[in-house]
Amino acid sequence: MGGHSNWPEWIYVGIVIALMTWVGAEAWEAERLVEHVPEDVEIIKVTGQQWFWTFEHEDGTKEIGELHVEAGKAYKFEVMAKDVNHSFNIHDYVVLIDAIPGRVNTVWFAPDAPGVHDIQCREYCGLIHYNMRGTLYVEEPSS
Amino acid sequence: MVLELQKPRPIWQIMFSTHHTDVGLLYLITSLGFLFLGGALALAIRAELFLPGAQIIADAMTFNRIFTVHGTTLIFLFIIPFASAVGNYYVPIMVRYKDMAYPKLNAIAFWMIPPSGALIWLGFADFTWYATPPYSIISAPGPAADMWIFGLKILGISSVLGAINFVVTILKCKHPDMSIGQVPLLAWSFLSSSLIILVAIPTFAAALLMLLTDRLGVSGFFNPALGGDPIAYAHLFWFTFHPEVYVLVIPAIGMMYEIIPRFSRKPIFSYNSGVFAFVLLSIVGFSSWAHHMYATGMSFTEKTVFMVGTLAAVPASAMHVFNFIATMWNGRIRFSTPMMWAVGGIALFFSAGAGGVVNSAMPLDFTTHDTYWVVGHFHLFVMGTIAFGSIGYLYYMFPYVTGRMYNETMGKIHFILSFVGTVLVFFTQHVLGLYGMPRRIFDYPPIPEWIAMNQIASIGAMVIGVSMAIFLANMIYSSGKGDLADTDDPFGLGGKYYYPFEAKNPSH
């Protein structure tokens, strides 16, 4: 050991640091865009409890286990929990936020095309966690 | 170098001994016992998930209990005690001292493990290894949950006692002629991981007490109904358990640092960079805990800080990989069983790390968080890296401990099946995560992609199960009836064994 030169390792570490910096910068930029909420969002209140989801639209309509939205509109979810932690997830639209009792977390999305997607709970919440599922119906715009 | 007394002794003499090799043997047997118990639970989980619907496990509650005890067992009762076994055997020898610094404390630290193992197994709690409140406070059935809390409490004390012992042995009891810069990398890995334990564990110890009093109803630290905050628990938990990841992985890397130069018949490429990477990893390991919590509603700034802290750990891990590959470069490599496990472990360590970068990038984490991607990712660490390094090291120390040689062919079959199985299970689970399958679920809807991926993963798990049966047979048979080993050079490497500080060896 001792005298041998270690420049290959320094080059390698430099490349790794450069790669990580690039990953970090890209992630920062993407997240900044993702978290920018449009101004004309409709608010949907989402409540998780063992073991189903309840939704309340701005006009007061309530839905259990099913959520109907219109394509082309932006929606902001205000996510709460009644008993234990849950995690509100629409995987197809990368919507994910924990539902934590005592807190209101928000996440927004804008479905682009009509379709049917799964809603699920992604945080362990007990016995029926595996079946705490719902369905998202994205419908044709009404106007 | 012989690590065990060859003279047969009654078992109680080993059990009540405080000699470091005897305590090491106790740690070794206990940890391997729990490896097989925890592994059996893993097979049950994979068999259950082979198809949608209930297969072999009757109900969701049993399933939840099984994955909780599976995780708790393999992390706290296999990985950590196994590292302690290796540390007990090797650290005193490497620092040229007669025993651990505090032999009685050492035996006490070991004897805390069986009762806590019994508490965890007899209780069979269901709130996952993360014991997340408020579920663990208001919903999890006792006494299982309370037994789990006490079991973890005792294990925490055992870890702290063991860590103090390693730190004192290495820093205070090393031979006066030996500077800290000559201590082999395996001992350095124990020094780093022990220091992390001493800083990290007290936080979780406090959180466990708060969880217990919350369960008893006399406090409301984490109970929103009493004004508490579950997120506080998440911070306390991950402040201990993200650094704990490095506690688990650093000794395994230290073990690879023993194996790889020996079987490459070359000195380690850079001792200094190995030490530097250990120290760096144990410091930056404390700057990334909340990357487990992106989805809890953290602000953009908090997420950015913890993403940077997480990415900062990558260069240090990458330095180890570089060091291993540069050591093997141009070496006269002998692919005996230990070397195969170590090299396989490096490959999987790299894959696990690459997957980890994806998790740490904020927007991508919202795709992978709490899905099977995460399960695949951390299993590539705990199984692919840590268990591979540990099992490789077990084969490596087998002749020194038993005086006999294991069956080389069975060892190689064990490796090949385990490697194939690990790739089948855990790479597939990454894909499952991208399809959106949440973790910790007893049953899943019959989505064709999910079924296909789950079936590949379950078949892989059975392949690992078969390999582990071969392993068990090999260990039991060879320790009693195996060929006598040449304890000077059991692997036929020729020449003198390399220690990093003895690289002046003239024969190369």
Question: Per-residue pLDDT tens for B411-433?
Answer: 999 999 999 999 999 999 999 99
Percent of chain B with pLDDT over 70: 96
Is B235 in the A-facing interface, judged by CB distances under 8 Å? no
ipTM strictly over 0.85?
yes
Q: Which residues of B touch A133 (CB under 8 A)?
A: 445
Q: Which residues of A touch B126 (CB under 8 A)?
A: 126
Confidence grade of residue A1 (pLDDT, cut at 50, 70, 90): very low
With 70 as the cut, is the pLDDT of residue A128 above it? yes
Q: Residue B393 corresponds to which amino acid?
A: Y
With 80 as the cut, is the pLDDT of residue B331 above it? yes
Interface contact flag, A120 B60, Cβ < 8 Å: no
Phi then psi dihedrals of residue B127, to 5 deg: -100, 25
In CATH, the number for domain B11-501 is: 1.20.210.10
Percent of chain A with pLDDT over 70: 97
Residue B71's pLDDT is what? 96
With 90 as the cut, is the pLDDT of residue B34 above it? yes
Task: Report yes or no: B61 and B126 within 8 Å, Cβ to Cβ.
Answer: yes
Percent of chain B with pLDDT over 90: 82
pLDDT tens digits, A19-43: 999 999 999 999 999 999 999 999 9
Q: How far apart are CA A35 and CA B194, in angstroms?
A: 40
Residue A25's pLDDT is what? 95
Interface contact flag, B315 A17, Cβ < 8 Å: yes
Confidence grade of residue B460 (pLDDT, cut at 50, 70, 90): very high
Average pLDDT over residues B42-59: 93
Q: Tokens 């938990």 correspond to what residue?
A: B237
Q: Residue A125's closest chain B neighbor by CA?
A: B135
Give yes or no for a cis peptide into B230 (omega within 30° of 0).
Answer: no
* Pairing outcome for strands A133-139 and A66-70: parallel
Q: Residue B244 corresponds to which amino acid?
A: E
Angle between the N-to-C axes of helices B337-360 and A7-34, in degrees from 0 to 180, rounded to the nearest 10: 40
Task: Report yes or no: B186 and B250 within 8 Å, Cβ to Cβ.
Answer: no
Interface contact flag, B366 A96, Cβ < 8 Å: yes
Is B444 in the A-facing interface, judged by CB distances under 8 Å? yes
SS3 annotation, A112-133:
CCCEEEEEEECCCCCCCHHHCE
Q: How far apart are CA A117 and CA B443, in angstroms?
A: 19
Q: How far is B390 from chain A (nearest CA, A)?
A: 26
Cα B383 from chain centre = 8
Interface contact flag, B297 A105, Cβ < 8 Å: yes
Cβ-in-10-Å burial (0-12, 13-18, 19+) of B53 comes to exposed
Q: Residue A3's closest chain B neighbor by CA?
A: B270
List beta partners, residue A87. A98
Tokens linked to A31: 């997240």
Q: Which residues of A touch B371 (CB under 8 A)?
A: 91, 122
> How many A×B Cβ pairs under 8 Å?
157
Confidence grade of residue B503 (pLDDT, cut at 50, 70, 90): very low
Q: How far apart are CA A44 and CA B423, in angstroms?
A: 42
Residue B3's pLDDT is what? 64
